[in-house]
Structure formats: structure tokens, C-alpha cells
Amino acid sequence: MTRSFAAALLLSTAISLPVMAQDAAPEPTAEDYAAQGRAQLEARLNIARNEGQAKNLIIFIGDGMGVSTLTAARIWQGQKAGKDGESTETAMDSMPYSAIVKTYSHDYQVSDSAATATAIVAGIKTRSGMLGLKPAAMRGKCETAAGQDVPTLFEQAEGAGKALGVISTARITHATGASVYAHSVDRNWESNADLPAGAACKDIARQLVEWPHAKGLKVVLGGGRAPFMPNTQADPEYTDKKGSRTDGRDLIAEWKRRNPKGDYVWNAAQFAMLDGTKDTPIFGLFEPSHMQFEADRAKDKAGEPSLAEMTALAITKLQRADNGYVLMVEGGRIDHAHHGGNAQRALDDTIAFDEAVARALQMVNLDDTLVLVTADHSHVFTIAGYPPRGTSIFGMASVTEDGEPITAKDGKPYTTLGYANGPGAKVNEPRNDPSKEDTAALNYQQQATVPTAGETHAGEDVLLKAAGPQAHLFHGTLEQQSIYHIARHIMGMK
């Protein structure tokens, strides 16, 4: 399988389908649809199975990126470009192999990101809220952690001489990114200030800086300066904010002392000056907490790199390693937008995530690089009703032939996108009429059925896409921890 496979498959499956409800172009014919089907068949018949061993591994995790999010983001991506959204082909769509992944944790039907990330990188199911530990440990009980560490794929890859990187638009100490290097009975113990009084466990930020593996993490890029800074130190970007550490330690300064030739950056200008060809580590923290949503990134005070830009820099640097590399890239803010009942920001971040996948597929050689794209869990996010083809994804769910919204039993229409629970629900009062609101506004919260402070995760299976050596092993329905075992086998790690 060659470097250009993904692009070739994308081109072979995308026929020119005119936008239907958005302009007066003729509708696709039966022959158009048949040609599209034949093109997809031909592309699949021409896939050459790669039985080789992977030198490199990139794991993309779209946090909370369930199938409904993938579908809605695909439509929005096409509509933003003035094209037919429904038939749009994304970079993720272009990847040749797929599997369905179960997401339950050791103790919950609907899991959190810590347990799901642990399954992906450590090969076991654990308790929700815990990182890198066997389920014999108990969440929040530091004394139960002794002897329960589970080695992660990244720790094992470092032992095999591979270079390592982790990128996230969330705090780098947040659950998914932290799964690369941390072992903790509580995902929330990001700073020492979060630890219970008298607890002997190390906080997550400290675990990153003190990571005991010799070569360490070559690339660390994301949000979350506060857990690394003392609470007496002002943030460099927001002078009204300070660090969160109560132990007086400046972990950023400690990282610099441990890596005297390394580069620490916290804004877009500094990021732009980084040289990916240098064999020195990079540590980038672009916000006190999470990075900006993609829709808000251009307005950031100090500027932030995009997820695609961070991914490109990491690949440029890591691919210089003689023994290969392992990289995790998380689109962390898809999840946060969904929790806020804000579909447009979630979809914009999904599109930014897809752009990062596209950049990676353009840069790597799929003869020796395994690329996996998946989600840790889903959200209670729905695409409902019977909207005509070409209807704005943020519009009304059903309309008449004259374009008038079809009403529900309460006499009001409803939008295509919605949530089963979340802040968009009304408490003890009738729901709003969305046809009288700007449902395409960036800050619009889609209506929800059950009123909750924050929308919740969902428990259905998620999609995994794969390309590269032995990617065909990712098929059927998989337990989430099987991702680790299959990837490890493909990389020849004993």
C-alpha cells in the first residue's frame, strides 16, 4: 500500500454530485449513483494487502466522535465548501479498513475517556476514571495503586527505541493524552492541588515531567499550563490567571533543566519558529486549560497552532528516528462542545481533526506506517427527522415541498441535530420554537430531551478506521482493548 493510496481511493469514490437544495443544478441520475458504486467497487478490488510490519504508528482519537458526529461533520464539511454535503468524502472516509469498537469500561456501560484511553494504549479494561492501572485498584484510593500499573504501548515502544509524541487540543494532563504516560487512580489528579491531603501518589503533570523512561517524550503539544505552574506565578498569556500547583514547583522550569537543548513554547509565534528537523524535544502548552475550540482559535490572544499544524510538526520530527515512532493525536474539544450541547463547535473541531488526519496521510509512507483513527466513546447526539437532501445540517428536521417546517405534536418544528440530554432542555416550561431562532449561530445550543447541566457520553459502539501495514486485521466488531494487542502485533513488539 503506497503513500498515495488514501488520495487515490478518495478520488475514485468521489463523483461529481451537484448540490440539490442549495442551487438549481440538475439532480444526480440513476447512472450517476451506479457509477459511484462501481468506482467504490473498483477501488476496493485494487487494494493491495500489505502484510509487512509497521515501523511507525499514529493513533488518532477523536474524543466523543461517535458515528452521528462523523456523519453530521461530513455534511457540514461539504456544505461549508459549497458542495453536496451528503456525498462528501472525508480523509477518514478514504481509509480502506474499518471496525466497530465496543466502548464499555470494567465497571460502566457508558465509559469515560480515562478508561477507554487506557484500553486503547494498555490493552485492558479498567475502572472509569482511572489511568494505566488494573481494575483491582479503586478510583480515588491512592493506597490501592501499588503494583497495579499496566505498561502502555508508548512505554513499551520507548523500550524498543522508538521516538514518542502526544498531541491534544485538551489539557495534556487530561484523560486521553495522560493515558500515554500516566498511572493514576483518579484522572482528575492533574496537579498536586487536586490530590487528597496526605496522598502519596504523584499528580499527572509531575508524572509527565518525571517520566522514568530514558528518552522521554520527543513531542508534547497541547493545552494545560496551569498544572505545571505554581499558584504564585502569573500565566504568560493571561496576567489575571495563575498556575494551580500548591507545592511551589515550576514543572516547566524543571522540564527545561531536564532538556537543556529542548524547546518550550506557549504561543503561535514561538510554534512557527520551531525546527522539526532538529533532534531535540519540544514541549508546547498553549493555554492555561484546554486549547481554544477550532471556531474560536483565530481570535486567541497569543495565537494557537491548528491540530493539523501540530500533527505535521510532530511527524516531521519523529520520522527522523531510526527505529520509528509512536504518536497519539487527540481532538479533545469535540467532546467538550458536545457536553455543552453546542453542535456547531463539535462539528468544526471534527473537521479540524479530519484535516489533521489528511495531513498525516499525505506525509507518511503507508508501506511502513500504521494509521488508526477512532473515538474513545460517543455522545447522545442525534440526526433526526426527514430533512431533504441539501438542507442545512443546522436547519429544521422536516420541511414541506414549499420549504415550510413540519411541526411536531406540540405545534413547533424541530432541528435535524439534537441531544437526548443536556443544557438545551427546558425545565418545567414549553420548548422554544427553533424556526424563530438562529439555529445556525455558532453559540446555538441544540434542544435536548432531558435537562442536565452537561450533555453526557453515550454507550454505543464507535468506528475505527485503519490504513497501512496489516490494517486489514482491524475488521468486524472489536473489544476496545484489542486495538492495543493488534497494533502491538503489527509493530512486531514482543
DSSP-derived 3-state class of residue 382: strand
Q: How confident is the model at residue 11 (pLDDT cuts 50, 70, 90)?
A: very low
Per-residue three-class SS string for 324-342: CEEEEEEECHHHHHHHCCC
pLDDT score of 403: 74
List, for residues 117-170, the tens digit of each pLDDT value.
999 999 999 999 999 999 999 999 999 999 999 999 999 999 999 999 999 999
Averaged pLDDT score across all residues of the chain: 94
pLDDT score of 359: 98
d(CA 290, CA 288) in angstroms, rounded, equals 7
- 113 is a catalytic site residue: yes
Q: Kindly tell me if the per-residue pLDDT of 27 is higher than 90.
A: no
Q: How confident is the model at residue 15 (pLDDT cuts 50, 70, 90)?
A: very low
CA neighbor of 78 nearest in space, from 91, 69, 70, 87: 87
**Measured between alpha carbons, how far is residue 329 from residues 177, 178, 230, 246, 363 in Å?**
8, 12, 28, 30, 15
Backbone φ, ψ for residue 421 (5° rounding): -150, 170
C-alpha cell recorded at residue 304: 494557537
Q: Which of 113, 128, 168, 306 is catalytic?
A: 113
Q: Kindly tell me if the per-residue pLDDT of 3 is higher than 50.
A: no
List, for residues 332-388, the tens digit of each pLDDT value.
999 999 999 999 999 999 999 999 999 999 999 999 999 999 999 999 999 999 999
Q: Kindly tell me if the per-residue pLDDT of 17 is higher than 70.
A: no
pLDDT score of 25: 59
List, for residues 74-110, the tens digit of each pLDDT value.
999 999 999 999 999 999 999 999 999 999 999 999 9
pLDDT score of 405: 85
Residue 476 CB-density burial (10 A; 0-12 exposed, 13-18 middle, 19+ buried): exposed
Q: Kindly tell me if the per-residue pLDDT of 6 is higher than 50.
A: no
Q: Kindly tell me if the per-residue pLDDT of 303 is higher than 70.
A: yes
Least confident interval from 21-30, 39-48, 287-296, 418-427? 21-30
Q: What percent of the chain has pLDDT over 70?
A: 95
DSSP state of 168: E
Cross-strand bridge partners of residue 328: 59, 166
Cross-strand bridge partners of residue 92: none
pLDDT score of 4: 41
Q: Kindly tell me if the per-residue pLDDT of 465 is higher than 80.
A: yes
For the chain, domains (ranges, CATH) are 56-340+349-376+465-490 (3.40.720.10), 381-455 (no CATH)
Q: Kindly tell me if the per-residue pLDDT of 16 is higher than 70.
A: no
